[in-house]
Amino acid sequence: MANRYFRNMVILAKIQEDVGTYEAPAAATDALLISNASIGYDDQVVERDYLREFFGSAEQLIGDSPVNIEFEVELAGSGTAGTAPAWGKLLRACAFAETVSAGAHVIYNPITTDQESLSILYAVDGVTHRVKDARGTATISLAPGAKPAIKFKFVGIEQADPEALANPSGVVMTAWKAPLPVAADNTGHILIGCTYAAGVVTGGTALPSIGLDLDLGGSVEFMALMGSSEVDITGREIKGSAKMRLEAAAEVTMFTDAKAVTTKAVAFKHGVGAGKIVQCYAPACQFGRPKYENAQGRLAVSVDMRLCPVSGNDELLIIVK
């Protein structure tokens, strides 16, 4: 038997126009550049549990089988200001809207209704799987000395049984740009008390960070129905954590704000140069009490963050420019 290899994997994803209708993604336009992939079926088994005159297992019935697809992509711009990044459609399937200002920026904001979904094809060394109605959530991670990343978790519905087919050919990855590493020259400080207007963040107190994670917090639910099944995003709580180095006065202020349930605008940016910048802005972030940490002998604090909406569907803006 010839060896088969995990790395011999192709995954394609396309925005699906109609719920329940699979739309075949194309290798030339819909290929994903991913790492750390985990793909599997979450079989909803039904126990038969019948009685016999002897002990032993009974066969299980296989009911609905939602498909769980997890992977990581690099956080980078499109290379051109005002052009959506290659990962933009993935974010749209996490209940985010995409607004393009040609030549300037692309902005993503959370939504509640009119959620989009994906059709996904993934081929693993000669076996092709097709998934429809995929929706998910994601986590943005920045850590010094590492590549910036977005970790996606999708749930979808199996379109058809797997087939023994050759992996798709003609895969094109040119839309995926190499990211800048998280480093002093490429990644800015966390800004607290900043302001936002028309794609631009200004002002605020700059605090040096040793890394942060931002969990988009979508509640992705699969529901089996008689005659159909569906995947829906039924809630959202965007949370995060950051490690920072603070002056004594800033640390005391953070303790005071936490106790008073004070929210402040927060922003951070990664990337330098047009088409390479990704910035996040939250107008009302609640910080938890700081916790002390040893950062190579320096004193650092770790703080939890809760991003709260102000008018609704505005608790986070992701600005790509």
Q: Is residue 55 part of a domain?
A: no
Residues paired with 46 in a beta bridge: 61
Q: Is residue 56 part of a domain?
A: no
| Residue 202 reports pLDDT greater than 90 | yes
65, 43 Cβ separation under 8 angstroms: yes
Please tell me the total number of residues recorded for the chain in this structure: 321
68, 38 Cβ separation under 8 angstroms: yes
| Selection from 68, 50, 67 nearest residue 59 by Cα | 50
Q: Span 94-101, mean pLDDT?
A: 98
Entry pTM? 0.95
| Selection from 168, 137, 134, 163 nearest residue 21 by Cα | 134
Q: Is residue 296 part of a domain?
A: yes
138, 152 Cβ separation under 8 angstroms: yes
90, 13 Cβ separation under 8 angstroms: yes
The pLDDT score that the predictor gives to residue 227 is 83
Q: Is residue 95 part of a domain?
A: yes
For residue 234, give the DSSP letter: E
| Helical ranges in 60-107 per DSSP H | 88-92
| Residue 128 reports pLDDT greater than 90 | yes
Q: Cα 220–313–133 angle (5° rounding)? A: 30
303, 240 Cβ separation under 8 angstroms: no
Per-state percent for the chain, helix, strand, coil, to nearest 5: 5, 50, 45
Q: Is residue 49 part of a domain?
A: no
Amino acid of residue 141: S
For residue 310, give the DSSP letter: S
Q: Is residue 57 part of a domain?
A: no
Q: How many whole angstroms separate alpha carbon 133 and alpha carbon 129?
A: 14
Which residues, other chains included, contact 19 with Cβ-Cβ below 8 Å and sequence gap of 6+? 117, 133, 230
| Residue 226 reports pLDDT greater than 90 | no
Question: E strand or H helix at 285, and its extent?
Answer: strand 278-287
The pLDDT score that the predictor gives to residue 257 is 93
Q: Is residue 315 part of a domain?
A: yes
pLDDT digits (tens, 9 = 90+) for 146-193: 999 999 999 999 999 999 999 999 999 999 999 999 999 999 999 999
What range does the domain containing 138 cover? 9-43+62-320
Q: Is residue 1 part of a domain?
A: no
Domain count, the chain: 1
